[in-house]
Structure 1
Amino acid sequence: MSSGNFSGEQFAGFANPGGVTIKSAVRTGQFITLALAKGVIFFAAIVLFLSWGEVAGPVVPRAGDAAMAPGDVIGDGINDGIDREGPDAAKRQSTSENWLPWIGIAVFVVAATAGVVAPAVMRSWAIHNFQQTCQQLPMSIDPAMPLSHDAGQLVTRLMASTLISQAIFEGAGFLNLVLLLVTGQIFLVVPALLAVFAIVVQCPRTSTMLDRLEPLARA
């Protein structure tokens, strides 16, 4: 759909001074997209930094003691605890380290499905509700022009469907990073990065919003 100015007949009864505009809704969505993606990226950087052990300082050995690396201290503490609890504790730890990464992968798959299906259902519902108002969008829409109450609600709901999808992917990304920190399985950074990609690729654009509104203008 090409963007342009409303004619007098098109604008009559449609514009709502002070109402929602496509341009402002898209800009808000872009800011939220940036915040969501940046949060996952920053957390990923912190988790990778911690996983590589770069934040642990050297252990100062006492006289007569052999130098110990930070990992040795942590490992000895964990192993001592396991030794005290017996072989069952070691088995439980090994089992949890094996299945926790698969939980992260499964959550990402479910999130990817929900991140596609849920927004599609929400968009369909929003469009259906707008059609019930018997309004018709003008053939040429100026993204900076305030919309009517019903049209503004439609744009807001369409934007919300995108943001909900992005939030679902963000949650899956954070979960995989937490599991990476717990298990040390570096491959869990892959679903986290895929989540960031899914967030960024859905960044709201004016052209995308106009394309979604175009069928309503021709209805």
Structure 2
Amino acid sequence: MTGPEREQLVFDLPVRPAFGREDFFVAEANAMAVAQIDMWRAWPGSKFSLVGPAGAGKTHLAHVWQEESGGRIVAATALAQAEIPDLADRPVCVEDVGAIAGDADGEAALFHLHNLVLAEGHALLMTAHVPPAQLGLQLPDLASRLMGTQFVRLSAPDDALLGAVMAKLFHDRQLDPAPQVIPYLVRRMPRSFASARRLVGEIDRQALSRRSRVTLPLARETLSRLEPETDDD
């Protein structure tokens, strides 16, 4: 492969995030949430909320639930423009509910979706950064409906879990990092799955462009240049 052709791969073949059950690592930080996803048919009131910081794995678990329940996933910010009856014909997950706090149209749409999906006998999953009682919703009827929703909090990954995720991400890209790379990164990187995906992706791009193995100096340099960001769960 010539130099220009190899360089083209860096831009044309991004790795898509893996959201399958087999790609989700279970550890102390998320074991309770995984158990609740497994028993989704027994949720009190047929609804549940996953709570935690960005990058804790809420979106990944939502996709696991979607696969197991046959449901669909919708962003809370898209509800005001959505056809609520169409959404309510199967189980549904509403992501980032806190993003519509104070948005009258968004809150009204969630209120109608909540009532209709449960009336149809389907399950409702929600994700948020804070528990239902702390969402700051302004529509009293909606706030009261969600107030008693059972929830579980996902913590940021610990060292063992973050290290396992990094190893899997490198493996997915057919990269064999030097032994010191993952321990070094785990001790210094932002503690989220989203940051792990972003960091490994950037290391991969740098290694390709330099035709280099994934060495500790390369990992150190890449980490130092990576700007902080808020990312998906």
TM norm. shorter chain > 0.5:
no
What TM-score results when the alignment is normalised by the length of structure 2?
A: 0.28
Whose relative contact order is higher, 1 or 2, with alpha carbons under 8 Å and at least 6 apart?
1
Query: Who wins on radius of gyration, i.e. which is larger?
Result: 1
What TM-score results when the alignment is normalised by the length of structure 1?
A: 0.29
Q: Determine which structure has the larger helix proportion and give its number.
A: 1
Q: Determine which structure has the larger strand proportion and give its number.
A: 2
